[in-house]
Amino acid sequence: MKFFIEFLLFTTGIVFPVIVGALLYNLVKKYIYIRKNKIFKSIMFVALVALSFNVSWIGDENPMILLPIFVIVFLMCSEDIMIKRLVISIGIYTLITPIGMLVDSIPMFIDGNDYELFLVFENSKHIIKSVVIITIAIILTKIIGKSKIKLDTKIWMLMGGLLLATFFITLAFTKFGLGDLLYATESGFNAKMIGSKEYVDLVNNTIFRISYMTLPFASISAFMVLVVVIILSKHEEEVKSENLERLRGTYYEGIKREQDAVRTIRHDLKNHLFTMQTMIDQSKYSEVEDYLKKLTNSPAIKEYRQISNNDIVNAVLDNKISIMDKKNIKLDYKISVPEILSISEIDISSLLGNALDNAIEAVEQIDDKMITLRLRADKGLFMLQVENPIKEELKVKDGLFITTKADKKHHGFGLRSIREVAKIYSGTMETNVKDGKFELIVSIPL
């Protein structure tokens, strides 16, 4: 029987860490992008297992030692904006560490004479930790579902601020905080310095009671912050979906009208031919010519441009080229993007639409009406480059060019919007003015 129990404990000591590591890894990759390299994936897995199963009782120094190592490994193995990675790393740390401190400290409350009971708790600590952490990981993973976590930088900063309280509460119950006081009786010098053994025991028991009332709150708070992140991300995703529907309605409305017009003309083709034949029979050749011009100038006769395999890129460009044609603006473009991109359609529309709108507005009042567009997505990089001549030198403020429009309150958001979209995907936006030309370059890793 004893052998069976020892074998069971040994087996669970191997199986549970693997399960916990796998569940936490799956949870973390829903919050942030983990590097694709297998080495980084393995390091992240090991770091999550180490965080969950390192021995760290109340007042211990291990949580302090593990903290910088865990954060550095987390940052090294992940790809995303820095503030997001920091918030998630601290969130996971303050979620897991207090659990370990509380469970590892349970044997300290057992009477030293009851050795068998002490051994039971000592050998089952990893099982208790595993059950608690597995439950938490499954709940969070269930709440996230299939969605990816995407929030604005300011929201991540707010979430980081909310985690500070739980973070410092956790550190307060390590050697960094109450540790020296808690284990003062370990040396005769400290015992004499503090007072009688009864007084020291009273202090220690009080600290333990406070710990078991406070540290669960730290873990629960970290859990709630991670849940709030999920809720806010899903809300933002819903808002983007609504905006995308409206955007599609705007860009596809013209196309739909043209398609309807084509169907109408095809349906009425017999009538048109009959009308023109009647005019010819009556020798009304000039009227026939006018009638033909009206038909050929109809949107239904216009050929729909197939510029790209990507539907949203194609729709935006077709719409903007139609505007340019009316304003006698020429577009030199080279497009090479796949049918599906990891960047959302609403963000692609915002990038491409705002970039071309700015260029159109810049050249429509000058003689050199030429816009150059380069758009490609390959080798893990999305690259947008737009170049256009400008009428006068532009003023710069906070890295953005100040609008020259009279209504400054409602304009000038084009570049700001482009920069915000680039930041969402850890990309960059660069603007240059040289030799009377404005150049915009947006780079986003895929």
Dump pLDDT digits (tens) for 11-33: 666 788 889 999 999 999 989 88
Residue 408 confidence class, pLDDT cut points 50, 70, 90? very low
- Express as a percent the part of the chain with pLDDT over 90: 22
**pLDDT per position as a tens digit, 293-325:** 776 666 555 555 677 778 778 878 887 888 888
Give pLDDT, residue 110. 64
Q: With 60 as the cut, is the pLDDT of residue 370 above it?
A: yes
> Could you give phi then psi for residue 375, rounded to 5 degrees?
-140, 120
Average pLDDT for 155-163: 92
Residue 264 confidence class, pLDDT cut points 50, 70, 90? low
Structure tokens at 331: 């577009």
Structure tokens at 285: 């050749």
Q: With 60 as the cut, is the pLDDT of residue 438 above it?
A: yes
413 or 54: which leads in pLDDT:
54
Residue 48 confidence class, pLDDT cut points 50, 70, 90? very high
Give pLDDT, residue 368. 83
Core vs surface per residue 256-274: b (16+ CB within 10 A) or e: eebeeebeebeeeeeeeee
**How far from chain centre, in Å, is Cα 417?**
16
Average pLDDT for 398-418: 54
112 or 127: which leads in pLDDT:
127
**pLDDT per position as a tens digit, 136-149:** 999 999 999 887 78
Q: With 60 as the cut, is the pLDDT of residue 194 above it?
A: no
Residue 443 to residue 222: CA distance in whole angstroms = 34
Contact between 222 and 138 under an 8 Å Cβ cutoff? The reply is no
Residue 6 confidence class, pLDDT cut points 50, 70, 90? low
Average pLDDT for 168-183: 80
Q: At what angle do helices 115-144 and 197-267 cross, to 10 degrees?
A: 20
Residue 204 confidence class, pLDDT cut points 50, 70, 90? confident
Give pLDDT, residue 3. 53
**How far from chain centre, in Å, is Cα 429?**
18
**pLDDT per position as a tens digit, 147-156:** 778 888 889 9
Element (H, E) at 10: helix 2-31
Average pLDDT for 55-83: 88
Cβ neighbours for 262, distance < 8 A, ≥ 6 positions apart: 300, 301
Average pLDDT for 271-287: 78
Average pLDDT for 72-83: 89
Give pLDDT, residue 189. 43
Average pLDDT for 240-248: 60
Helix (H, G, I), strand (E, B) or coil at 146: coil
Give pLDDT, residue 221. 94
Give pLDDT, residue 25. 93
65 or 5: which leads in pLDDT:
65
Residue 396 to residue 373: CA distance in whole angstroms = 23
**Virtual torsion, Cα 113, 116, 119, 120, nearest 10 deg:** -130
**Virtual torsion, Cα 146, 151, 157, 163, nearest 10 deg:** -20
Query: Cα–Cα distances in Å, from 278 out to 101, 102, 268?
Result: 95, 96, 16
**pLDDT per position as a tens digit, 330-366:** 989 898 888 888 887 778 888 888 889 888 988 888 8
Q: With 90 as the cut, is the pLDDT of residue 418 above it?
A: no
Element (H, E) at 372: strand 370-378
Average pLDDT, the chain: 79
Contact between 62 and 97 under an 8 Å Cβ cutoff? The reply is no
